[in-house]
Amino acid sequence: MLWAAIQQTWEPFVLVVGLLLIGHVASKDGLFEVAGSKLSRLGGGTVVLFVAMMVLAALVTATLNLDTSVVFLTPVLLQTARHRKADEHAFLYGSIFMANAASLLLLGSNLTNVLVFSRSDVRGATFARTMLVPWLVSITLTTLVVLVWRWRALSSEPNEEPQEVQHFILGPGIVGVVAAVALMLAFSRPAIPVLGVAVIVAAIDVVVRHRFTLTSLVRSANLPMVVGLFVLATAVSVASRFWHIAQHLIGTAGSWQTAGVAALSSNVINNLPAAALLSAKFPHHPYSLLFGLNLGPNLTVVGALSSILWLQVARREGATPSAWTFTKVGVVVTTLTLVACLLVA
């Protein structure tokens, strides 16, 4: 029982460690800061800036995982908003809502994707092709909801001078990003190849460039939190083999019911344990299950690891995120994106 549970749960956690390591190196190369500074020079005021930053967040989430996006891009969004004297709330809450909403596209975009498809041989390119339209719908609606919510503040603010353009260092970080995306598209089980790329990229920075220490790399991968969630997800997977109610429920549920159960479960026990519980047997509606697991956490801050990381990063950057504000806006974001994705899937 335990070995079967570990077989189900280990891959997504190995994958996210690899992507976080690659993201850390890319961040030190200046990838995210350069992208933010270039976008800040767009004309059209803060509304255009906000939309551009949401597109950037969606792309980083899709290619490097939502946790990587939250950890390394949220500070960039906040700094850009502050430099332009733009509405900080739009950029702050937009960063986490977009991270969850944009995590549908690739297998590696969210740990739940790998958990649910751990017993499937679907290739990454096939998964991406199936999820492309729901992904586009999800990121568009998320951007529009935050825009409507903060429209007065965003549209009334002056167009301040853009920040100075940063210089990007072409290094192993960008090579790691490109390699990780290629591997996630090419393979149905990309965890080990991506981790291999991450180890090589990190080793270059530690041994050749002397830019990091092993301790800083371990910290950047959030290993204590990742290990803790792995243990929790494995325990839930083991329990699911004795408690058959959840499997029976998902096995008999339709597409919409599957998404609803997944969204509710995510906000009760977190989406990673929920994914392990609800996919102990491969579900009849795996993509609908992912709609609930990935979009449902935009309802409460306890729904996903990304939201917990977001709280930590935001407070470290001097922001004051509110769980109540998250839920007030999140109920609209979650409802619209979940219904829309189910309609277009």
* pLDDT at position 121 over 70: yes
Alpha helices in the chain (DSSP H): 2-28, 31-39, 45-64, 66-83, 88-101, 111-116, 124-149, 151-155, 172-186, 191-203, 214-220, 223-240, 245-252, 255-269, 271-278, 286-295, 305-316, 323-344
What average pLDDT does range 88-113 have in this prediction? 95
What average pLDDT does range 158-163 have in this prediction? 56
pLDDT one-digit tens code per residue, 273-317: 888 888 878 889 999 999 999 999 999 999 998 999 899 999 999
From CA 134, how far away is CA 132, in angstroms rounded? Answer: 6
Nearest to 336 by CA among 92, 140, 128, 150: 140
pLDDT one-digit tens code per residue, 215-254: 555 555 566 666 666 676 666 666 555 555 556 567 678 9
Mean of pLDDT over the chain? 85
Say what the pLDDT of residue 90 is: 97
List the structure tokens of 284.
């009849």
pLDDT one-digit tens code per residue, 188-225: 788 889 989 988 888 887 776 655 555 555 555 566 66
Q: Which of 12-16, 150-154, 325-329 has the lowest mean pLDDT?
A: 12-16
What average pLDDT does range 113-131 have in this prediction? 90
What pTM was computed for the model? 0.88
